Structures are given as C-alpha cells and as structure tokens.
Chains A and B, each alone.
Chain A
Amino acid sequence: MAERVNPYFLKELKKYGDVRIEECFNCGNCSAICPLSTEEDNFPRRMNRFAQLGLRDRLLASKELWLCYYCGECTKTCPRQADPGEYMASARRYAIASYDPTGLAKLLYTSPVLSVIFLLVLAVAIGLFFFQASAPMDLQTLRLFEFIPSALIHNAGIIAGVVIVLAALVGMVSMWRRTFQALGYPKGTRLDWWGAIWKAFGVEVLGQLRYRKDCESSAVNKPWYAQKWFIHASMLWGFLGLFVATALNYLLELLSVKATGTWVPLWYPIRLLGTVSGLFLLYGTSLALLRRFRKDDTSYEKSTFSDWTFLALMWLAGVTGFLLEIAVYLPPFAWSYWMLLAHLIVVGELLLLAPFSKFAHAVYRSIALYLWTLKPLPESEQASAPAAAD
C-alpha cells in the first residue's frame, strides 16, 4: 500500500507542544522502559518514526497514541533527550485537532491568544443567553430556578448536548475508521466485541487499572492519594458522578417525582452523590493544578495553555457548584443567584468545548482502550467465518 509522506508533518506537530523528536535515534529505550508497552503494542518509538518520516496517516491510525498516560519514564531515560513523552502528548493534541473537522480544536491548541478571546466571547454569550431570560432575584426565599428557569437550562443543555455529541461523533468515527483498520484483522475475523466492553470501560476506563498498576514508577515517593492515577481518577469519577446526578435529577423531574430546585436534605441520595462527586472533582482538579504548577513530575514540566484551561474550567465548575450547594442551605443572598449564572457559564464552556479541547481525550482514549482489548474470539468460534487468508 502506498503511503503518503508529508514533509511538513514534523513542523506542523511542533505547533502542538515542545516536540523535539527529530533528535531521536531510534534506539527503542523508550518503548522498552514504558510500563504500558506490551510485547506487540509497543510505543512510543514507533510513533516517533511516523513523525520523523512524515507518516501522518499512520500516526492518526495509531491507537498506541492513546494508550500512553504520560508517566514520563521514557522522557527521563531517553539517551537523546528527545522527550518522547511530551511528543506523545503533543501528538495526541494534534490527533484531536485532526479528527475534528471544524478547525476549532486546532485554534484552541495552537493559539493561546485566540483561545482566550474565544473563551471570553463564549462566556459572555452563554451569560447573556441565560441572563436575558432571567427573572428578578427573590431575596425572601431562594428561588434559583425561577431566576433562571430550569426548563431553559434543561432545554439548552439538551440542545447543546446533541450538538456536542454530533461533533464528537464525527471525530470518533474518523478515529475509529483509521485505528480499526490499522488493527489489521483479516476480513471476516470474529472479534470478541462484548468481552472487550467490560475490559475497556469497566476495568480500564473506570478502574484505571493500567494507570494504577503500571504507571506508578514516577510516583513512588507519593502516598496513593497524591499519585497521578488517583488525581486523574478523582476527576474522572467526580465528573461522571456529577453527570449521573444531574441526569437523575432531570429524570425525577420528568417523572414528576421532584422538581429541579426543590429543597432536599444533604443526605438525599442524589444530592449525596452530587456532593461526593463534587468533592472528588475538586480534590482532583486542585491537586492537578497544584502539581502542574509545581512541576513536580516529568509530565507536568511542559504544561500547555490547553492543559491549564481544561483544568481551570473543571476546577471552576467544582467551586461554583459547591458555593451553589452551600447557598441552598443559607438564607438567600444576591451572590447565590450570580453563582448560578457563573456555574452555568463554566459548565456551558466545558461541555460546548468538550469535542475540541483536552476533554476530547476521554472519548479517544476510550476508543483506543476498546480497540486494545478487542481480540479475536477463540479458534473454535472462528470456524463459521470465511477463510481469512484470501
């Protein structure tokens, strides 16, 4: 099969991070030191090659890009100091931008100035959108969802959700097509589609097994709650928990069990789920910000603007959410209402930008993990399949 070589590929990649992979002399130290490399699915050296040779399509078809959690072992031990870990991170940014047809991801990744402008404009737009529909603040009893009607929030959320999902789907399909093809299973091979679901989403995505077990080398001196995997898992679990709590809340409203904004005690199950998840999110994002700020790990040394904005938005979402929750149990103040608006703006930005920002790694990594766990069914169940050889 002919491969197209893109001579400007490396130059292009350099816009996405501190890429110096041209220094690499292909020794393979990185792939062998990488705790996540396996006998067959080994990286990052092969990925380095793609950048050096201008094999853009091969890079974009590599699930291995997403199997790396950036522990930094390869960077620390690279004899050429070619920083393969940072290269992998940059290549992931590049991939997110390439799978996205709108060009927005590219803008957010490559231009901090335009990113700031874009984020501010979007914030104002979301703010105005909700504010123009707001009712006067009631300072006798707190009526948050009369200030900004819950129906508006829900409907806006659903419409935004559909847009986001569609945008994300385009990228996901693009990635899936390339990476699945690259697996190279002969036509007709019967794959264990169901088995892989549990392994990929249960064990790896939710359980963070490989991050937890294999990527600990860099964190040996830290207690488990300060290790990178736990920080990452806190954010992931926190975010998912909040998402589920919000969805359940809406479900109860649809079922007319409980309207949004009805006062509930702290131990009300959905409220409890939200609170605990919020704590996880806040803990994870705070520590991630702190450790990035301190640069106390190889992978935190070269944070990009996109790393900071993603974390900052998540952190702000957590903080505003908590202040809102506290407000519910206090006498009404004007700031409680403003907090709702702020929370909507932050969450709105976070969700609307999901397919175009670092957030997108969640779906791409999930797909990669799925493809990584996807294996052919045992020999005995292949019988009915047509002969693979021709």
Chain B
Amino acid sequence: MSTNQIKVDALVVGGGISGMQTALDLGDQGYKVAVVERKSSIGGKMIDLSKVFPTLDCCSCITTPKMSATAHHDNITLLTYSEIESINRDGNGFKVQATKKPRYVREDDCTGCRSCELVCPLEVSEDEHEFGRTSHRVVYVPFSTAVPQKALVDLDHCLFCGKCIQACPSDAIDFTQQPEPVEIETRSIVLATGFETTPINAKKEYGAGKLRNVISGMMMERLLAPTGPYGRVLRPSDGKMPASIAYVQCAGSRDQTLGVPYCSRVCCMYAIKQAMLLSGALPLAEITIYYMDIRTFGKGYEQFYQNAKAMGVEFLKGKVARITEDENQNPIVRVELIDEFGKTRVTERQHDLVVLSVGLLPGGNPQPKFGVPVGEDGFVQVPDYNVFPAVTSQPGIFVTGAAAGPMDIVDSIMMAGAAASSAASYLEAGNGSRKEAQRQPERSVEYA
C-alpha cells in the first residue's frame, strides 16, 4: 500500500493556522511536507473564531483559503483524523509511526454531498466546536467549511440502520474500516500542536462551571460567529438576549492558584474584540470588562482598545473574586473596584451574562513522544528564544505557534515563517549534519 508509506522533507504536527502556514511556506519552497492533524478537519482554533483583532476581519474568510491551499498544495500531504504514535531517529532523519483513525467513510470516495446526513435518523450533541449548544447527525461532515469536506461516522452512537449506506451516491460508507498505520519518513519535524483553553470549571470561585450564564471566551466566539449555533447572541439558561454582559479578565492566567503564573496575551485583546462585536450585535447591551491590566501590545492594538472605550465599553479595574448567581440565574460578580483616584469599593454587580476570558494552556505534553522538553509553563521549550525562536533543543525538531507559548494569530503566522525558514536551513545544511552542506540530490525544487 503506497499511501501508507510517506517520505517527506518535513512533518508538520498540527493543522492549526501556524501548522498550515509552516506547511505552505515549506511547500512553496519545494519541500515535500506532510501535515498530521488529530481532528477531522484542519483549521485549529482559528476556524472557530468569529472575527480577528485588531482588524475585525472575518475569521473564516482568512482561514478557509489557507485550509484549501494546504489541502490542495502539490507538495503537501494531509493526514487528518490521525495520531502520531511514535518517533524514532533514523540516521539524520526520523521514522514516524502514525495512525489514521477510521472515519467509517472512505475519504477517496466521499464527495461531501451530505446526502447521508439528511437520512441519518439520530442527532448527537456537537461538543467539539459548539460546546453542546447544537447537534449533528451520527454521520456528518464536521462543519460547513471543514477541510477535507468528508463525512465521518460517530460509531458510538450509530444505530447501524444502514440508511446512509443506501443514500450515499458514491458508496463511500464502510463500517468495517480499521485504524490504518502510516509510516512517515521525514528529515525534519515542526510541532504546531497549539493550545487548549482553561477549562470552564477550573476555578471554584467562578462557579466551577455550574453557573449556566457564565461562559468562556471561546463559547462567546461561537455565539458571535456567523456560523454559530444560534446565529445570534443568546444566553444559555433561558435564551434571553443579554442586556448586560461582563468580561472577567485573567480568568485562568496570572493565577498561581491554578498553577498558571503567566499572562496568556490574547485574552485582553479578544475580550475587547468581542465587546466591540457585541456592541454591534446587541446595540443596547451594556458591556463591562473587569481587568487587572489591559495588555494591548501589538501593532494597532492600543488604538483598538481606545476605540472600544470610545464606543462605550466600560472598563473597570479590579479582579473578580467570586461569581454567584441570583434566583433568575443572573450572574453576580464580587469585586474590589479601584478608581483612578485610588478610592476603593468592594461591591457586587449583577449581569445577564458573564464571559470568562480564559487563558491559553499547553495543548499536551510533547516530551514522551517527541523527546522535546517543555519549559516551566508547560509549553515547548525554546532554548534560545531571542535568536532562534523556532528551534527546539532537539536537532531537526522545530516549533511554531501557540505550542511554544501563548500567542495570537499574527505572531503564530510570523513564527510559522521562522519555523519554515529554520527547517529549510536545516534541510539545506544536509539533514542537520552541517559538515555535509550540500544539497540532497533527491529533493525536487520548483521555482514558480
């Protein structure tokens, strides 16, 4: 089986924005690249976002073309719904074992027509992107802009009624599919495994996830996205349009009780972004952001913040200590407010909806599989960050994006460039052994 043997110059692990950009940068330079993505679609966190700060560009409109470009690039092989099992150094390169999880749909045959979805009698909760706010059929195409546009079957819930098999015009459904081992031979690896967000139940004082009208920033992204579950912003408990929305900043970062001393860098900006979008979606709503410091460090970010202020978003200095709720499930925040004259007041304020500006946590520990150490913060360690921002301590293994630390999209894309160029230099130097600094004859370079 030829598909189960892949030989490439670079293996990119993770198909988020940073992984896709690395793959594209390397692919454009003529290197052969494989992208292994654990989920059924590439796109990472970015494809779930509503709009991006600080330009307020539509997120799908930026991400989807990148996803297609990655999928259709001649030099890029895409393996979605796949896991890396093991990595072994082999001479100057690596031998990687991966597994393609069964979709129960033959990828080569499926056209994404969704006829199967229409006939499937059962709906299950959509947890991966929509936090259970909506549902999908047991056989489903992950979402409307998923790449690849191929169906998969959630076998745990399947009734085996066979309706989809009958409906499928290209006979793609195959319940007998088994996990498929894939062997990847590569000369370099780029980790682009991204991040996870602070779980909504992490903090007892914030209701431990039990308060229905306390949601995470990621959930708000979905409520604001045009492709979101309701198509507008409604609060979870009763579907009411919230008239007063509060943001709790640093809800999961800069908090040693949660073991996260660092700042997650993006949550100030995404809260401001969401506040602006909410001002458009719910013009009458009052929006308050409770913060310790507003960190708007990037190009155009400070102006973005000032614009939000000018739009009437209320910024109050104080760390929310506790969130409770009243009998109508309206969240109540308790906070010490410190005004510009240093006068302080401990007060409780009621809102209709509270959004926790959750932080960015490491997506997983790459140490056991990749042998790449992580720093104290749990993100992939970069020994010489100032000079070689994408080079890990393992020769031939590079890192990009939020896998290396909290990072926004702009930085993730820039780092992707850095990772691609570090990887290319490494490949140019001859698989990392700098003595042998000649071109590898088998590599095909195509200049456009």
Contacts and interface: CB of A to CB of B under 8 A. Distances in A.
9 contacts: A25-B292, A27-B318, A28-B338, A33-B334, A40-B345, A42-B336, A79-B250, A79-B254, A79-B256
A259 B292 CA distance: 68
Interface in B336-350: 336-338, 344-347
Interface string A58-82: 0000000000000000001111110
B345 A32 contact: no
Contact of B319 (A46, A76, A79): A79
A25 B261 CA distance: 12
Given A39-B347, A77-B205, A79-B319, A28 B256 contact: no
A46 B256 contact: no
A81 B256 contact: yes
A76 B346 CA distance: 19
B256 A32 contact: no
Contacts, number: 64
B257 A28 contact: no
Mostly, the A contact residues are: loop
B335 A42 contact: no
A128 B250 CA distance: 63
Most buried by B among A31, A45, A78, A81: A31
A303 interface: no
B4 to A, nearest CB: 50
Interface residues of B, number: 21
Interface string B269-305: 0000000000000000000000010000000000000
Contacts of A30: 321
A29 interface: yes
A81 B250 CA distance: 15
B292 A46 contact: no
B255 interface: yes
A46 B257 CA distance: 21
Interface of B: 205, 250, 254-257, 292, 318-322, 334-338, 344-347
B210 to A, nearest CB: 17
Contacts of A366: none
B346 A42 contact: yes
B205 A33 contact: yes
Given A45-B336, A78-B257, A81-B257, A28 B347 contact: no
B335 A28 contact: yes
Most buried by B among A78, A79, A81: A79
Nearest to A80: B256
A38 B257 contact: no
A33 B256 contact: no
Interface in A181-239: none
A28 B250 CA distance: 13
B10 to A, nearest CB: 40
Contact of A39 (B256, B320, B338, B346): B346
> Shortest 10 CB-CB distances between A and B: which pairs?
A28-B336, A32-B321, A27-B319, A79-B255, A33-B321, A31-B336, A42-B346, A32-B336, A29-B319, A81-B256
Contacts of B257: 76-79, 81
A32 B255 contact: no
Given A27-B319, A77-B321, A79-B255, A32 B292 contact: no
Given A32-B335, A45-B344, A76-B257, 14 more contacts: A28-B318, A28-B336, A28-B337, A29-B319, A31-B344, A32-B319, A34-B346, A38-B346, A40-B345, A42-B344, A78-B256, A79-B250, A79-B319, A81-B256
A304 interface: no
Nearest to B335: A32
A77 B321 CA distance: 8
B326 to A, nearest CB: 18
B320 A32 contact: yes
A77 B250 CA distance: 14
A98 interface: no
A37 B346 contact: yes
Interface string A1-35: 00000000000000000000000011111111110
Contacts of A76: 257
Given A40-B345, A77-B205, A29 B321 contact: yes
A27 B319 CA distance: 5
Contacts of B345: 39-40, 42
Contacts of B346: 31-32, 34, 37-39, 42
Nearest to B319: A27
A306 to B, nearest CB: 29
Interface in A66-102: 76-81
Contacts of A42: 336, 344-346
A34 B322 CA distance: 10
Most buried by A among B250, B256, B322, B346: B346
A5 B322 CA distance: 34
B205 A28 contact: no
Contacts of B320: 32
A28 B344 CA distance: 9
A155 to B, nearest CB: 51
Contacts of A78: 256-257
A27 B256 CA distance: 13
B234 to A, nearest CB: 29
A166 B226 CA distance: 76
A33 B318 contact: no
Contacts of A40: 345
A53 to B, nearest CB: 11
Contacts of B321: 28-33, 77
A39 B334 CA distance: 11
A371 to B, nearest CB: 19
Contact of B322 (A27, A32, A81): A32
A265 to B, nearest CB: 54
B204 to A, nearest CB: 9
Contacts of A46: 344
Contacts of B322: 32-33
Contacts of B250: 79
A32 B254 contact: no
A32 B321 CA distance: 6
